[in-house]
Amino acid sequence: MTPHTARGEADRLARPAILPADTPRASDIAMRALDIVAAGLALVVLSPLLLVVAILVRLDSRGPAIFRQERIGRGLKPFRVAKFRTMREGVAADPHRAYVEEMIREESEAEGRQKPMMKLQSDPRITKIGHFLRRTSIDELPQLWNVLRGEMSLVGPRPPIQYEVDAYPARAYRRFAVRPGLTGLWQVSGRSLVTFAEMIDLDTEYVERRSLLLNLKIIVLTVPTVLGGKGAE
C-alpha cells in the first residue's frame, strides 16, 4: 500500500456523518420550485441551441452527442449526469484521474502554497468543439434534465466522480449534504482560479448559508462569470 493510498484509507475511515443542511423547510420547498420552473423553462427556450450543439458534436467526431457518466450526489448517492460529449469516444479516464489525485495530494501537503485548481491542460482527448463547449459551459446544459429529475439543483456543489471522492479529505464530505448543482458559490468566485481547499471552503459555506436569496444571487452572478470566461481554463 502506497503512502497516498494509506492516507486515502485513513480519510475514508475518518469521514464524518453527512448531516442534512439546516435549511428551513419553506425555503427548501421554494428552492425546489425554482429549480423545476427555471430548468423546465430553460429547456424549452434553449431547445433550438441544444439541437444545434447536438448536431455539431455528432459532426465533429464519432459517437453520441450526449455523454452520461456516474457522479456522486447528495448523501453520497450515485446518479448518471448528462453532458454534451466533449471528448473522443472510448478514451480512458486515467489521465484525469491521475491529475485529480495528484492535485488533491499536493493541496494536502502544500502548507499554504496552494495552486489554482486548473483543469488538465493540453488534453488530447478533447475534440475541437469540445474546447469551446467547455470554455462556455454549454456542455453542462443537458444537466437541466438532471435538475428536473431532482438529482441536481440549479445551485450547489459540483457532483464529483467516485475516484475524486475517494481522494477527498474528511472535511470535504460536507458538500454532500445538499443536491449538487449546475453552478455554485465557488464557480462565481473564480471557477478554476480558486484552489481545491478554497473550493471546499466555499462549498461548505454554501451548505451553511443556503437559502433562496443566495441561490438567486449565485444564478445572477453566473451569467457574467460564464460570458466573461473568468476561470474557464
Per-domain residue ranges for the chain?
Answer: 46-107+114-228
Which is it for the CA torsion 117, 66, 143, 133, positive or negative? Answer: positive
76 contacts: CB under 8 Å, gap ≥ 6: 18, 165, 173, 176
- Concatenate the DSSP letters of all residues of 63-121 into one string: S-SEEEEEEE-GGG-EEEEEEE--B-TT--SHHHHHHHHHHHHHHHH-SS-----PPPT
Contact in structure between 149 and 198 (CB atoms under 8 Å): no
Mean pLDDT confidence for 204-209: 94
Mean pLDDT confidence for 180-208: 88
Q: What angle do CA 20, 144, 221 make, to 5 degrees?
A: 75
Q: Which residue has the higher pLDDT, 77 or 95?
A: 77
Contact in structure between 80 and 68 (CB atoms under 8 Å): yes
Question: For 137-171, what is each residue's pLDDT tens digit?
Answer: 999 999 999 999 999 999 999 999 999 999 898 88
Q: What is the pLDDT of residue 124?
A: 81
State yes or no: pLDDT of 87 exceeds 70: yes
State yes or no: pLDDT of 233 exceeds 60: no
| C-alpha pair distances (Å), 150 with each of 15, 17, 79, 169 | 25, 22, 11, 27
Nearest to 112 by CA among 5, 10, 198: 198
- Read off the pLDDT band of 187 (50, 70, 90): confident
Enter the pTM of the model: 0.83
Average model confidence (pLDDT) for the chain?
85
State yes or no: pLDDT of 89 exceeds 60: yes
Span of 68-77, 84-93, 99-108, 204-213 with lowest mean pLDDT? 99-108
Question: For 213-223, what is each residue's pLDDT tens digit?
Answer: 999 999 999 98
Q: What is the pLDDT of residue 189?
A: 85
> What's the length of the chain?
233
Mean pLDDT confidence for 21-37: 92
State yes or no: pLDDT of 20 exceeds 90: no
| Alpha carbon distance 89, 200 (integer Å) | 31
Q: 153: helix, coil or strand?
A: strand
- Read off the pLDDT band of 109 (50, 70, 90): low
178 contacts: CB under 8 Å, gap ≥ 6: 21, 23, 74, 153, 156, 157, 206, 207, 210
Q: What is the pLDDT of residue 14?
A: 55
